[in-house]
Amino acid sequence: MTASKRIVLSSDHAAIALRQAIAAHVAEKGWEVVDIGPTTPESTHYPLHGHAAAEKVASGDCALGIILCGTGQGIMMAANKVPGIRCGVCSDTFSARMIRQHNDANILSIGARVVGEGLALDIVDAYLDAEFEGGRHATRVEMIEPTD
């Protein structure tokens, strides 16, 4: 399968069960899922998992990513430190659709202690089923990355 249909998933310990539910759901939608864990419940550090997923996307190995921690906030902050990554935290389907349509977000972050599984799967659908609109939004997205 080409990278255009490959998606990386990662989380910290707070979101393992939801990440695994999302992995199954995304695979059912026809994506090749690269789930980089973790799989065991020991406490871990969300920046490690945010950076690892972001590198998969920034390198072109995966087209998109979905990352999770308790709030979705810390892992999002870590992912956004990797050049080329545009990651937003979403707790509603409108935002999930818009970060793809207007911001060309290449990673979605979700808080496992914020939303339940049903809403999380709807958020994932809204994100994956949307498309970047380009045009004036492309100009703005190009301006996000700082220039020297």
Catalytic residue positions? 69, 102
Residues in the chain: 148
Q: Closest distance between ligand RB5 and the C-beta of residue 116, in Å?
A: 16
For residue 139 the two structure tokens come to 């100009």
Closest of 21, 43, 111, 42 to residue 73, by C-alpha: 111
Count of residues engaged in binding ligand RB5, rule: CB under 6 A: 8
**CA proximity to 115, closest of 79, 80, 69, 54:** 69
Q: Is 12 a binder of ligand RB5 (CB under 6 A)? A: yes
Q: Closest residue to ligand RB5, Cβ-based?
A: 74
Please, what is the minimum distance in Å from the beta carbon of residue 71 to ligand RB5? Answer: 4
Q: Which of 8, 16, 46, 99 binds ligand RB5 (CB under 6 A)?
A: 46
Interface of this chain with ligand RB5, residues 64 to 93, rule: CB under 6 A: 69-71, 73-74
Using CB under 6 A as the binding rule, whether residue 53 contacts ligand RB5 is answered as: no
Classify burial at 99, counting beta carbons within 10 Å of its beta carbon; exposed 0-12, middle 13-18, buried 19 or more.
buried
> Nearest distance from residue 32's CB to ligand RB5, in Å?
26
Rounded CA gap, 132 and 148, in Å?
Answer: 27
- Show the CA angle centred on residue 101, arms to residues 103 and 78, nearest 5°: 35
Q: Which residues bind ligand RB5 (CB under 6 A)?
A: 12, 14, 46, 69-71, 73-74
